[in-house]
Amino acid sequence: MKNIAVIGAGTMGNGIAHTFAQSGFKVQLIDISEASLQKGMDTITKNLDRMVAKEKIDEAQKNETLNNITTFTDIAEGVKNASLVVEAATENSELKLKIFKQLDEQCAKDTILATNTSSISITQIAAVTARPKQVIGMHFMNPVPIMKLVEIIRGYNTSDEVTKTIMDLSKTLGKDPVEVNDYPGFVANRILMPMLNESIETLYNGVAGVTEIDTVMKLGMAHPMGPLQLADFIGLDVCLSILNVMYDGFKNPKFAPCPLLVNMVRAGKLGVKSGEGFYDYSQSRKAENVSQQFL
């Protein structure tokens, strides 16, 4: 397995492409937008430059990583020789189902199809394909080149062979894969998102301010980043989407998103990517500093 296709050049997609390419894989990075592909490649280059500056890699390794990535706007051309496709498009179930139908038609019969979804059912995604045994979840954490965890999510029909292949592959990337079963939110977000939502409720109810809530969690619970800052970093729209998936899946009110979160997303205050969320990222390149603080 040497040819990997990655669908989506956004934050997660370019991070996944970077990680595979740095590990010696040939990567086809695919996006419908040429501008998004260029932005994604610029991000990968900047992140590699930081790693060179910190002496984590050398200039030759940086150039080799970049040379391992080829970009495509045509999905059929991009996935043609792929042994594995990792979908990292927006966390929207309709979009993902559409992409997987297309991938099933255009990929070779033995190609494994993986999704980086953080909450959507792998079984539901697999059901739109003629290869449900070869569909699996690979939930990378952000920033992908640094974070060790990959949640490997088995759909109802995912085969043992495919699961073992993806577990072993994740280890070759220097990751620590953890196998979990297919329920809304899996493990990471089933635990994380209610905490973030409760932090937003705490703010909404006037118990404390943004910095006070984050300071309590950082100093009292040894979290590297406060929950409201983390929500900004993830994207408030993404948090809302994941909470809605879990609420729909479990019908449990503990997963119902806070009204403040709903209103902030409606107002376009999405966190780092929009320049404003619970914090203001519009000044002095704050957004870039936050999103790249681990690199």
- Residues making up the annotated binding site are 8-13, 31, 91, 96, 118, 142, 273
Q: Number of C-alpha atoms within 13 angstroms, CB side, residue 280?
A: 3
| Catalytic residue from among 151, 170, 241, 291 | 151
**Residues facing residue 280 across a β-bridge:** 276
Active site residue 139: yes
Q: Could you give the CA distance from residue 97 to residue 21 in angstroms, rounded to a whole number?
A: 27
| Binding-site positions for NAD(+) | 8-13, 31, 91, 96, 118, 142, 273
Instruction: Reply yes or no on whether 289 is catalytic.
Output: no
Q: Which of 3, 68, 118, 241 is catalytic?
A: 118
Q: Which of 139, 197, 241, 276 is flagged as catalytic? A: 139
Determine which one of 121, 189, 197, 241 is catalytic: 189
End-to-end CA distance of the chain, in Å? 27
Whether the CB-CB separation of 150 and 170 falls below 8 Å is answered with yes
- Six token digits for residue 224: 């590297």
Angle between helices 188-204 and 236-250 (to 10 degrees): 110
118 is catalytic: yes
**Could you identify the residue written with the tokens 């002095």?**
284
The residues carrying an active-site annotation are 118, 139, 151, 189
